[in-house]
Amino acid sequence: MNQQEKNQYICLLFVLPAVIFFITFNIYPVIRTFYLSFFKWDGVSIDKQFVGLKNFYFLLFHDKVWWKSLLNGAIFSFFGIFVIDAIGLLLAIIVYNKKYLRNFYTVVYYLPCVISGIVIGLIWKWIFHPEVNLINRIFELLSISSQNISWLDNPRLALFAIILASIWRGIGYPFLIFLAGLQNIPKEVCEAAVIDGVNSIQLYTLIIMPLLRPTIILVSILTVLGGFQTFDVVVAMTFGGPGYATEVPTLKIYKEALQFGELGYACAASLLLGLFLLILSLIQLKFQKTYSS
Amino acid sequence: MRQESIIKEIILLVFVVFILAPFIVGISTSLKSDLEIYKGFNLLPRRVTFENYYAIFKDKVFFRYFINSGIYALLTNIGCLLIASLCGYVIGRYNFPFKNVIYLAFLAVLMIPIPASFVSLYNLMLQLKLLNTRIGYILLLISGNLPFSIFLLTNFFKQIPKELEEAAKIDGCNIFSFYYYILLPLSKPILTTLSTFVILGVWNEFLLASIVFSNDNLMPIQAGLMKFQGQYITHYEKIMAGSIISILPIIILYAITYKRIIKDIMRGMGK
């Protein structure tokens, strides 16, 4: 065996641990999810009952909670793009033009992004607690409403409570990405535009926004991906309640598998959600490739 | 023009207050007695008490969650860096059979979200008899962090000039000693970055922990916090104290590494 051949074996030896991990914990589970989605199975008993496409059929046409959870995912995505990302963009533009304290703002805005969803959920659950209800107190101060509303017990308002917590949690990431996007725009472009007599509003709407478009699309897709995968904050704040008002897809799958013992059904739901998210990721990848080349 | 810049300052400050307020509410609540917290909210405690923190320090179970998370973060980090750097090293610098297939497969896995596979991961843990074991959880954490780490390290190792390797070869380095004595010391900055992201991720991880553990003794901090809040459901002063303690290591890590974290996120790293 010459050196070349020997090196090839060593190379394979070096990638072997990663490949083993990869097959055991990535490939196999995905194949198994696919396989189990055709069965009715509780996960423990020896007998699996083959049910064909019944799980998917029930999921798509009879499971209102599943659709509710997807709707909530869509609502999170909607607010994510039009509130969280919009605020992130606004703050990024302001901070970009500042000479002082840039680091300070960046560090503060990004802070919630390093905190766990559970802690965020617990703190916000307390903020919305009927006994404290800071939100109501702020409403009182602004004289919007003086009722003592119990947000998390109200099916309509609970979702908004979670959205507010998500806004708090989510601003930092789009803010940073937009700030990076702005910094990548060559200074000369803006300077040339100003010399040509463009005012500051035109500068943003006509020049910076179009240049920032790839970043905006990228952030939007990431926001939708995140919106449909919201989990920790919901678990800590409402666990999907009251009723199923704040159910989210991951939590629905979690409950089916670990609480109701419907493993096959949970796998079918996993598969549908995974497929949807995968398509979004592929679109994102395509955009990134188009714009980076 | 001046008016405009005042409005901008106000917007920035409003959001600073918005971001910091929940932390202040949490800290303030954690310093109150259980009698005070339900008497309407005051930002400043009427009487500052550390009894909630004291109670948590005495709570052996809570302390264990903390230690557990430390163990998981450390071992995941070591395992992940070791496996990913070996793999990234040869993929980035050598040619061998199946190389491209393997690399593309890793990239593909980056796009499979956890919600799509956690049910069968749970089932897999059951089959392997790894439910309620430390090793089971650590294996899941390592595999979760691997694809991204391999991606990052492969790109980094690719950039290291060929001449360096040839010079090392003449000096008698083989494929392994080059990795160990030259490549690893060179990649300290990127390994530090990667470690920071891995540790942050492990410390904040909840979903996998909640499928692997039902046993108190082995739970990491996030799953522990949920359990803890179930026990003290009405004692928000204790829940807040627990939350504050649980984020302390993260805040310290963030304070030390924020420059690098922010720079790396802006360069498109992180998720």
- ipTM comes to 0.91
- Average pLDDT over chain A reads 88
Query: How many other CB atoms are found less than 10 A from the CB of residue A10?
Result: 15
Please report which confidence band the pLDDT of residue B261 belongs to, taking 50, 70 and 90 as the band edges: confident
Collapsing DSSP to helix, strand or coil, A287 comes out as helix
Q: Which residues of A touch B28 (CB under 8 A)?
A: none
pLDDT of A1: 61
Question: Quick one: closest CA in B to A117, which residue?
Answer: B204
Please report which confidence band the pLDDT of residue A148 belongs to, taking 50, 70 and 90 as the band edges: confident
Please check whether residue B156 is in contact with residue B187, taking contact to mean a CB–CB distance below 8 angstroms.
yes
Contact B116 A270 (CB under 8 A): yes
Closest CA to B240 of B20, B21, B22, B17: B22
Radius of gyration of chain B (CA): 23
Q: Of A36, A108, A232, which has the smallest distance from its Cβ to B120's Cβ?
A: A36
The better pLDDT of the pair A268, B111 is held by A268
Please check whether residue A91 is in contact with residue B14, taking contact to mean a CB–CB distance below 8 angstroms.
no
Closest CA to B91 of B35, B149, B45, B32: B149
Distance CA B151, CA B147 (A): 6
Collapsing DSSP to helix, strand or coil, A49 comes out as strand
Question: Residue type for A249, please?
Answer: P
**Among A58-72, A84-98, B105-119, the least confident range:** B105-119
Distance CA A259, CA B259 (A): 43
**Interval A214-269: pLDDT, tens:** 889 889 988 999 999 999 999 999 998 788 999 999 999 999 988 888 899 999 99
The answer to pTM > 0.95 is no
Question: Residue type for A89, please?
Answer: L
Whether A177 has its CB under 8 Å from any CB of chain B: the answer is: yes
pLDDT of A218: 86
Distance CA B72, CA A249 (A): 27
Distance CA B63, CA B65 (A): 5
CB pairs under 8 A between A and B: 256
Whether A260 has its CB under 8 Å from any CB of chain B: the answer is: no
pLDDT of B97: 84
Whether A96 has its CB under 8 Å from any CB of chain B: the answer is: no
Distance CA B177, CA B96 (A): 19
pLDDT of B49: 85
pLDDT of B1: 60
Contacts of B42 (CB under 8 A, 6+ apart): B28, B36
Radius of gyration of chain A (CA): 24
Q: Alpha helix (H) ranges present in A42-85?
A: 54-61, 64-79
**Among A56-65, B61-70, B98-107, the least confident range:** B98-107
Contact B113 A24 (CB under 8 A): no
Distance CA B227, CA B233 (A): 10
Strands (E), chain A: 39-40, 49-50
pLDDT of A177: 92
Whether B43 has its CB under 8 Å from any CB of chain A: the answer is: no
Whether residue B52 has pLDDT greater than 60: yes
Whether residue B80 has pLDDT greater than 90: yes
Q: Which of residues 273-292 of A touch B (CB under 8 A)?
A: 273-275, 277-278, 281-282, 285
Question: Quick one: closest CA in B to A95, which residue?
Answer: B12
Q: Of A29, A30, A127, which has the smallest distance from its Cβ to B25's Cβ?
A: A127
For B186, counting Cβ atoms within 10 Å of its Cβ (0-12 exposed, 13-18 middle, 19+ buried), the class is middle
Q: Which of residues 238-257 of A touch B (CB under 8 A)?
A: 249-250, 253-254, 257
pLDDT of B209: 94
Please check whether residue B195 is in contact with residue B81, taking contact to mean a CB–CB distance below 8 angstroms.
yes
pLDDT of A201: 80
Closest CA to A248 of A50, A131, A75: A75
Backbone angles phi, psi at A39, to 5 degrees: -120, 155
Contacts of A143 (CB under 8 A, 6+ apart): none
Q: Residue for token digits 């890590």?
A: B253
Whether B139 has its CB under 8 Å from any CB of chain A: the answer is: yes
CA A189 to chain centre: 34
Q: Which residues of B touch A218 (CB under 8 A)?
A: none
Token digits for A218?
């990228």
Please report which confidence band the pLDDT of residue A70 belongs to, taking 50, 70 and 90 as the band edges: very high
The percentage of residues in chain B with a pLDDT greater than 90, rounded to a whole number, is 44
Distance CA A104, CA A107 (A): 5
For B200, counting Cβ atoms within 10 Å of its Cβ (0-12 exposed, 13-18 middle, 19+ buried), the class is buried
Whether B99 has its CB under 8 Å from any CB of chain A: the answer is: yes
Question: Quick one: closest CA in A to B23, which residue?
Answer: A123
pLDDT of B19: 95
pLDDT of A292: 65
Sign of the Cα torsion A162, A165, A170, A175 reads positive
The better pLDDT of the pair A45, B196 is held by B196
Whether residue B271 has pLDDT greater than 80: no
**Among A101-110, A138-147, B95-104, B107-116, the least confident range:** A138-147
Which residue in B56, B107, B119 has the most chain A C-beta atoms within 10 A of its own C-beta, making it the best mutation to test that interface? B119
Query: What is each CA distance from A216 to A73, A79, A80, A188, A212, in whole angstroms?
Result: 20, 15, 12, 22, 6
The better pLDDT of the pair B196, A136 is held by B196
- Average pLDDT over chain B reads 88
Q: Which residues of A touch B8 (CB under 8 A)?
A: 94, 97
Whether residue B199 has pLDDT greater than 60: yes
Collapsing DSSP to helix, strand or coil, B96 comes out as coil
**Interval B202-250: pLDDT, tens:** 999 999 999 999 888 899 999 999 988 888 887 888 999 999 999 999 9
Contact A126 B113 (CB under 8 A): no
Q: Provide the shortest C-alpha distance from residue B215 to chain A (in Å).
A: 15
Distance CA B85, CA A178 (A): 31
**Among A125-134, A228-237, A274-283, B223-232, the least confident range:** A125-134
Q: Which residues of B touch A23 (CB under 8 A)?
A: none
Query: How many other CB atoms are found less than 10 A from the CB of residue B270?
Result: 18
Q: Provide the shortest C-alpha distance from residue B112 to chain A (in Å).
A: 6
Sign of the Cα torsion B201, B202, B205, B207 reads positive
Distance CA A99, CA A101 (A): 7
